[in-house]
Amino acid sequence: MKSILILCAGVALGVGLAFAGAAEGKAVFGAKCQSCHGEKGEGKEALAKMLKVTMLHLGSKEVQAKSDADLKNIVAKGQGKMKGVAGLTEQQHADVVAYMRTLKQK
């Protein structure tokens, strides 16, 4: 019985650490990214149409397949018509990516 409890605690801790920084990243995302990407990463259709771009859901397989390093680079430097997000620390970039990982579509 004790072994099962230890195993369950270890699994719970591992799941929590998988998205470490996600709560902090959600706050940064809300302040810096949400105006274009939407509350849940769905993208703003009107903005995409105005800019003549396709805005993928941040939880899509295409976005989620990118490495953390690639996503941090896109947040920091931008991509296509998206400008990079200025004024973030390395930790804030990592936190935003951790939050983005929670947006996976099912």
Distance CA 9, CA 96 (A): 26
CATH number of the domain where residue 73 is located: 1.10.760.10
The reply to whether 14 falls in a domain is no
* DSSP 8-state secondary structure symbol assigned to residue 84: P
40 domain residue, yes or no:
yes
Residue 15 domain-assigned?
A: no
pLDDT beyond 50 at 89 = yes
Cα–Cα dist 86/32, whole Å: 9
Report how far residue 95's alpha carbon sits from residue 23's, in angstroms, rounded to the nearest whole number: 8
Distance of CA 63 to the CA centre of its chain: 9
Residue 106: inside a domain: no
48 within a domain of the structure (yes/no)? yes
Give me the pLDDT at residue 19, please.
63
Please report whether residue 31 resides in a domain: yes
Q: Is residue 36 part of a domain?
A: yes
Mean pLDDT of 7-21: 51
pTM above 0.85, yes or no: no
> How far is residue 9's CA from residue 34's CA, in Å, rounded to a whole number?
34
Q: What is the pLDDT of residues 16-69, one digit of tens each?
A: 445 689 999 999 999 999 999 999 999 999 999 999 999 999 999 999 999 999
pLDDT classification of 11: cutoffs 50, 70, 90: very low
Report if residue 73 sits inside a domain: yes
Q: Residue 17's pLDDT is what?
A: 41
Task: Provide the residue range defining the domain that includes 29.
Answer: 21-101
Q: For the chain, how many structural domains are there in total?
A: 1
58-64-69 Cα angle (round to 5): 105
